[in-house]
Structure 1
Amino acid sequence: MAESREHTFIGTKGLNKVREWRLDRPRYLAILVHGYGEHIGRYEYVADRLVHHGAAVYGLDHIGHGRSGGDRVLVEDFEDVVTDVHSVEERARAEHPGVPVVVIGHSMGGMIAARYGQRYNAGLTALVLSGPVIGEWAIVPELLTYEEPPDTPIDPATLSRDPSVGAVYAADPLVWHGPFKRATLEAFAVMLGTIAKTGTLGALPTLWAHGEDDQLVPLPGSRVGIEAIKGTDLTERIYPGARHEIFNETNKEEVLDDVTAFIDRTLTHN
């Protein structure tokens, strides 16, 4: 695996931990944005593939996640998280001036990345949205009917057809296995609405990749969101039988081949 190092910075709501997978003279910078309840350490394999493809890779643990500070899985405003990701991009650019930037977000990270594309469109070369929470996500209004959201843990089997993925997830002490915080659900609702009404991504090359059998973030709901924000350069990849974590699926090589081919195309035209 590619070598990495860590550093911290004070973000909008406290201490953030960032991991960097280094590469001298990269062709592009990849900013990884992880999903709800997890941490950037679960993307080691993705980062390794991207480094071997020519990227210097950066990713933070969001506030309330992984090794970053804050109450666990508490996000009161996702705009703050988008701002924290931008701080990571600024550091990456300072270390590699003039190098193109690609943002890659999964699940909740796909929602953050979509909003990032709206806010910082001009500075990006490409955007990759993997199983993004965007459009209609039924679990949010459902759980908001409760004053205290019930503790309904994620079934590890819904992550991937590879059972080892679920087993490692279930045993990971840095993964949150408890209930949603109500304030976080409210923040999801606000951000989903903000993205839907803000407008399209314009000419920003965007790859939307999704598992056909995604039970955590169902395909039809995300399609509503994609239709609302897609610009003039959208590539769509739907993987038959694949579940939520397509970067950890049994066909992950195919998925990452598609991601790197898409990035190659955008770099060629950059």
Structure 2
Amino acid sequence: MAEENENIKYDEEFITNSQGKKLFTCRWIPKNTEPKALIFVCHGYAVECSITMRETFTRLARAGYGVYGMDYIGHGKSSGLQGYIPNFDDLVGDCSSFFVSVSERAENRNKQRYLLGESMGGAVLLLLHRKQPTYWHGAVLVAPMCKIADEMKPPQFTIPILKGLANIIPTWKIVPTNDVIDLANKNPEKRQEIRNNPYCYKGKPRLKTAEQMLSVSLDLEKHLHEVSLPFLIVHGGDDKVTDPSVSKLLYESASNTDKKFNLYPGMWHALTSAEPPENMDRVFHDIISWLDERTTSVNVRSEMEEKAKHDRIHLSSDIK
């Protein structure tokens, strides 16, 4: 399906992963101009790209970027049991295969490649970077799941029991946690939109899903110093879903020097979709400014190199 909106073109299609499962993909691109760069979006747990994250996609596309997303297995319009992540590595592999296939198309090979990950998508982003440390030109992490906040964890004494059960009854929805929709979204209308969206998972976390997310977050927390790509982190100061102190630790620990951490006092977890308009405007301004600083300088340099090449050809021709 394709649809036109303002100066943006939207397309969606299904692809098949290495296990033969159907995965939903979508893109928002500027209509009448070449994208400044490519942005690949990794969405959060239990949500999806085309509806829940429309604001993020359209704002970035209006700013001149080609924006691509994919619903993970068990999420959105993709195949699989809703809300079920049997293996996080497979999920990351699906993203890697799709994102790289888009990047390697002839029309995209000279474009910069950025990742944007929200919440659990931040963990996906960091694992994509670990998989190909030098492939991505930069990343935007929005309230990344480097550590699950204590408010979202089950009682400590139940964790070993739940881990054991995850291998016996992996799909059961019995993990005792607070309602992530209420904790993440400040805007009541956004909460209702998610509850009314049939492509969003609303049940308790499934045992294997919770075990995989906890395992990944613990692993990432131990390897923050290995992060080496340029990045911007944006995180709400009142986030009760992912821990902003660990985002600060990522900023302090990462081995690169091109890094920035913006903490927004009073903002919640869903700071790009469920805050008051003025708060969302501020966050998107910071994200787009950070991207523009990097892509504009590269595009200007490319134009200068192309002009110099053109001038050399003409000079050589004149000499002959």
| TM-score, scaled to structure 1 | 0.90
Shift in CA distance, 197/159, structure 1 to aligned 2, threshold 3 Å: closer
In 1, Cα distance between equivalents of 2:94 and 2:34: 25
1:170 pairs with 190, 195, 200, which one? 195
Kindly, what percent of the aligned residue pairs are identical? 23
Matched, 1:184 2:193: no
Q: CA deviation at 1:268?
A: 4.2
Q: Is the 8 A contact 1:59 1:88 kept in 2?
A: no
What amino acid does structure 2 have at the position aligned with 1:36? Y
Query: Which of 184, 208, 215 matches 1:159?
Result: 184
Partners of 1:134 and 1:226 within 8 A in 2 = no
Count, aligned residues: 269
2:28 maps to what in 1? 21
What's 1:247 paired with? 272
Q: Secondary structure at the match of 2:294?
A: helix
**Aligned pair partner of 1:39 in 42, 45, 48:** 48
Corresponding residue number in structure 2 for 1:209: 234
- State the match for 2:132 in structure 1: 120
Alignment-derived partner of residue 10 in structure 1: 16
Q: In 2 relative to 1, CA 134–243 (structure 1 residues): closer, same or farther, beyond 3 Å?
A: same
- Cα 1:140/1:151, change in 2 over 3 Å: closer
Which residue type is aligned with residue 287 of structure 2?
A: V
2:93, 2:175 → 1: CA distance?
A: 30
Alignment of 1:62-211 (within 5 A): 62-93=72-103, 94=105, 95-135=107-147, 137-138=149-150, 139-140=152-153, 142=155, 144=159, 145-146=161-162, 147=165, 149-150=174-175, 152=177, 154=179, 156-198=181-223, 199-202=225-228, 204-211=229-236
2:25 maps to a residue whose letter is V
Q: Which AA in structure 2 matches 1:33?
A: C
Q: Return closer, same or farther for 1:71/1:79 CA change in 2, 3 Å cut-off.
A: same
Which range moves more in the overlay, 258-267 or 192-201? 192-201
Counterpart residue number, 2:315: none
Give the AA of the match of 2:53. Y
- Whether contact under 8 Å (1:210, 1:244) holds in the other structure is yes
Structure 2, unmatched stretches of 5+, are 166-171, 299-320
Q: CA deviation at 1:152?
A: 4.5
The runs of 5 or more residues in structure 1 that have no matched partner are: none
Shift of 1:80: 1.6
- Give the aligned residue type for 1:267: T
CA 1:191–1:157 in 2, change beyond 3 Å: closer, same or farther? Answer: closer
SS across alignment from 2:287: helix
Call closer, same or farther: CA 1:87–1:124 in 2, change over 3 Å: same
Whether 1:261 and 2:267 are equivalent positions in the alignment is no
RMSD: 2.2
Bigger mean CA offset, 228-237 vs 43-52: 228-237
- State which drifts further: 122-131 or 78-87: 78-87
Q: Are 1:51 and 2:58 counterparts? A: no
1:230/1:157 CA distance change after superposition, 3 Å: farther
Cα distance per residue 1:8-47 (max 9 Å; x no partner): 2222452211011133521100101100000012111211
CA distance in 1 between counterparts of 2:255 and 2:238 reads 22
What is the deviation of 1:266? 2.1
TM-score (norm 2): 0.77
Aligned equivalents of 1:184 and 1:227: distance in 2? Answer: 29
Query: Could you tell me how far apart the structure 2 residues matched to 1:214 and 1:174 are?
Result: 24
